[in-house]
Amino acid sequence: MTVRVFQKGFNFSQDGPGNRLVLHLQGCTLRCPWCSNPEGIDEAGGEEIQTSALAAEAAASAKLFFSGGGVTLTGGEPAMCFEAFTELLGELKKKGIHTAVETNAVQPRLPEAFGLIDYLMIDCKHYDSDTHERFTGSGNEAVLANIEAAARERQQLHIRIPLIKGFNASPDDARAFLKLFRRLGAEKADYEALKYHEYGRGKWEKLGLEYKVKDGFISKRAFGAFTKILADGGLRLIAT
Ligand code: SF4
């Protein structure tokens, strides 16, 4: 089987533990207006590569996987083409490589791959399904079901919340997220709040697409207030 890769490179500790080969797989199930990799959203594009060839390439770089590193699959959405995704993870595991996945968790079959993922990062963009759909094009039901399953079935889970002003970053939003994570039984996960940035703006413009976020930046104070509510509620906040 093949996957399409639109970007790859090494990165230390930002996309999972240690020094990692980060593979960005082409295609995404969502359409977030703040996406920093809009070139990876469309299913077409990227370089088509056999999963076995990618795993062999990763194994050849094994000496670079220091400090507990390995390979991270991200995107786009790496679990979108689920069969190829699990095949690639299986090939990496066969070679003894530590695997990490960064996912929007819209793929309902994600739990089938838990056994192949050493380090799982799930993005949780909004607690309310209608708002999630209005901004990203899809509701959050599968995302929440996957978080619940991961919290129940896995020892490790890392949840990331991209904070965007006017979308999900107010104190009320923080309280609603906290309530949600408790309801999902995910109090033991690691949490990371990510400040809105505009690294993708130039790429959207280059692709001839309109960058629709007007002012998503959040202040240091708003960020502090948001994370304090989660931490006071007993969640473990980490920074990468
Ligand atoms: S889920 Fe991630 S890759 Fe997909 S559109 Fe949203 S930000 Fe971009």
Residue nearest atom 7 of ligand 1, based on CA coordinates = 35
The alpha carbon dihedral of 142, 143, 145, 149 has a sign of positive
From residue 103, alpha-carbon distances to 146, 159, 166 in Å are 10, 10, 23
* The pLDDT value given to residue 240: 81
Residue 139: band (very low, low, confident or very high) from pLDDT cuts 50, 70, 90 = very high
Query: What pLDDT, in 10s, does the model give residues 61-80?
Result: 999 999 999 999 999 999 99
Evaluate: CB of 32 within 6 angstroms of ligand 1.
yes
Residue nearest atom 8 of ligand 1, based on CA coordinates = 35
Any idea of the CA torsion for 140, 20, 84, 95, to the nearest 10 degrees? Answer: -140
Q: What is the number of residues in the chain?
A: 240
Residue nearest atom 6 of ligand 1, based on CA coordinates = 32
Two tokens at 109?
Answer: 């079959």
Domains of the chain: 2-11+19-237 (3.20.20.70)
| Burial annotation 96-126 (CB, 10 A radius, 16+ → b, else e) | ebbbbbbbbbbbeebbebeebbbbbbbbbbb
* The pLDDT value given to residue 204: 96
Q: How far apart are CA 206 and CA 50, in angstroms?
A: 29
Pocket test for ligand 1, best of 24, 104, 143, 168 (most atoms within 8 A of CB): 104
Residue nearest atom 3 of ligand 1, based on CA coordinates = 76
Q: How far apart are CA 75 and CA 147, in angstroms?
A: 19
Query: What pLDDT, in 10s, does the model give residues 41-63?
Result: 999 999 999 999 999 999 999 99
Evaluate: CB of 76 within 6 angstroms of ligand 1.
yes
